Amino acid sequence: MVKTQAVVLRRRDLKERDKLLTLYTQEHGKLTVRAIGAKKIESKLGGHVEPFMRTEVCLVTSKTIDILAGAQVVEAYPQLRSSISGTHAAQYLMEVVDQLTPDGQQEPSVYELLCSGLDILNQQSRVNFLTVQATVLKILGRLGFEPELDKCVHCALPTVSGDYLFNVSAGGVTHSRCGGDITWAAPQVQFETIKSLRFSLRSPLDAMASLRLSPIIWEQLNTCIDQLVLTHSRKPIRSRLFLAQAN
């Protein structure tokens, strides 16, 4: 028997009575477990394993798929669930973590970041989408996908002013003159966007709501983070479209 805390990334029906849950756990990374009888109305499990709930779970391990033996909700994030934009934001974070993380790889810092992001968003009267994107950027960094923002990845000169290219395939920002034949594939960004990416990556999540960005810098920041996610995920993040509509 294994007891741990987990965030429910997604769930889907399995046969007539059961559900298959994808959990991101505090101690064991991402796990897929079977919740026997969870589809039944009278099930004691159902209300504790809704998507983006933080739950304490008891698992029975097996050679095929672990079985959910018990669950007790720790945090349901009611403020997020009360609005369409909050639900879309939470669903986006769940899908990003699901797509970016391999099964069974322990990453406690990713779990803590995910919980912190949900906690802060749940306290906001109106969803701050920069908090959402900063959470994603920090998770990318913890998984080893942090872009180089302090210097050009080609010539190694520091980023200090002017316009740059955000070249995901090269690992970060490049001077426009260093772009070569990748210019068409790498979006141009202003230095202010690079500073905003640094701030989002290195500052506490609860500081994001105080950051004010112009529309063009916000658009460029979104483009950079979206390209990072798309490059390192296994497939496109479907919930990103709904998040953009809610923003």
Cα gap 75→118, rounded to integer Å: 10
- The tally of CA atoms less than 13 A away on the side-chain side of residue 110 is 30
Residue type, position 139, single letter: I
The model's pTM is 0.92
Tens of pLDDT along 177-189? 886 555 456 889 9
Report how many helices (DSSP H) and strands (DSSP E) the chain contains, helices first.
7, 8
β-pairing verdict for 18-25 and 2-14:
antiparallel
Q: So what's the pLDDT on residue 100?
A: 96
Q: Under a CB-based contact definition with an 8 Å cutoff, are residues 205 and 135 in contact?
A: yes
21, pLDDT greater than 70: yes
Beta bridge partners of 189: 164
Strand segments, DSSP code E, in the chain are 2-14, 18-25, 29-35, 54-60, 66-75, 163-167, 172-175, 188-190
110, pLDDT greater than 80: yes
Tokens at residue 224, please?
Answer: 């950079």
Neighbours of 112 (CB within 10 A): 12
Tens of pLDDT along 120-153? 999 998 999 999 999 999 999 999 999 999 999 9
Burial 92-104, CB ≥16 within 10 A → b, else e: bbbbbbbbbbeee
Neighbours of 117 (CB within 10 A): 23
Tokens at residue 152, please?
Answer: 């050009």
